[in-house]
Chain A
Amino acid sequence: MAEIMKMSILRYRPETDEKPVWQSYDVPYNHETSILDALGYIKDELDPTLSYRWSCRMAICGSCGMMVNGQPKLGCKAFLRDYAGGELKLEALANFPIERDLVVDMSDFIAKLESIKPYIITQEPRSLDDGCTTQTPKQMEQYKQFSMCINCGLCYAACPQYGLDNKFTGPAALALIHRYNNDTRDQGKAERMKFINEEAGVWGCTFVGNCSVVCPKGVDPAAAIQLGKVESAKDYVIQMFKPGE
């Protein structure tokens, strides 16, 4: 027999609502019901006007990020059983403008991800005849975990610095810089250092550390940013000995 969970969702319909309002639904659930499943139930059985984003249902597309009882979570990776006996409060991802209901406007985040040159840059073009680029396990370990990011935006919702001032480049984009700068196949570090060095770069981080706690893929953006501070400080000293540049 299914249990019933009271789910409150912060609704926002731009054509009628001046500001977001809470609306409650009673949702049956069992051991396997994820929050995304529960939203599907509401959409199909109770209220077809509810809007939310989703795609893969398996924590790889990064679409269904939302605030679950105040914590950034992926709807597909959080389960009603873990909130049994209480109430569930769902809200659009914090620190982003609400587009509609649980859908946020992520364009600022996407623009930041694109701006930091998140691709391998080589000085000399390589052809297929050059063969594979080999890496040792140690070389791969330098960047591998940072390449696991799925761009879900949970770390931005967890970052008060981004919430207070969205000029801050933010955890995922800074971790992505670290990911490419530490890949032995890449030669674009000099081009990316300016994104690290600027005020909105690594120095905008005060090491709250919540980004690494909420990441659903085990990425540690806080570590990437602190290591970025070390790189930025070294870069600053090196620049002092390069007059005229």
Chain B
Amino acid sequence: MSKRKPYTREMKADWWRKDSFFTMYIIREGSSLVIALYCFMLIAGLFSLTQGQSSFETWLGFISHPITIVFQVLTLVWTLYHSYTWFQLAPKAANLWMGEKRVPDSWIVNAMYAALAGCSALGLIILFL
């Protein structure tokens, strides 16, 4: 008779707290929660715009409230952190070559930052012109 009795270790819900690498991963992915909430907030703004001026002004009041502003700053910081981690990982998802040489990872990362700066500048120009 076989004496085999393989033991399976349970993976508990707090597995990501046991290792700093996994903790940073969960923090990175956790940004999706605040970004989702932020998107709902913007959609609510669009909806209130269709409901007339007073409705939109109520929404403007809502997003100018100190607690909402703290949330927006948190969303910004968390999103920037996510962007940083993604830019660092981006070269893994690209297999780019120039002739016989692979495009250096740093070029891809720098191109991502340049694109972010370009888009941000464009946004600011549209906002203030």
Residues of A within 8 A of B89 (CB): 207, 209, 222, 226
> Interface digits, A153-174 against B, CB 8 Å rule (1 contact, 0 not)?
0000000100110000000000
Please state if A138 and B97 are interface contacts (CB–CB under 8 Å): yes
Can you add 13 more A-B contacts, CB < 8 Å, to A14-B6, A230-B93? A12-B7, A14-B4, A15-B3, A15-B5, A98-B8, A137-B100, A138-B97, A142-B95, A163-B15, A208-B22, A209-B89, A223-B92, A226-B92
Task: Give which listed residue, A20, A71, A141, A164, contacts B102 with CB less than 8 A.
Answer: A141
Residues of A within 8 A of B15 (CB): 160, 163
Decide yes or no whether A55 CB sits under 8 A from chain B. Answer: no
Q: A: which residues have CB within 8 A of B?
A: 12, 14-15, 19-20, 70-71, 94-95, 97-99, 105, 136-138, 141-142, 160, 163-164, 206-210, 212-213, 220, 222-223, 226-227, 229-230
Please state if A220 and B7 are interface contacts (CB–CB under 8 Å): no
The interface size of chain B toward A, counting residues with CB under 8 Å, comes to 23
Task: Give which listed residue, B5, B11, B92, contacts A163 with CB less than 8 A.
Answer: B11
A160 shortest CB reach to chain B, Å? 6
Residues of A within 8 A of B93 (CB): 223, 226-227, 229-230
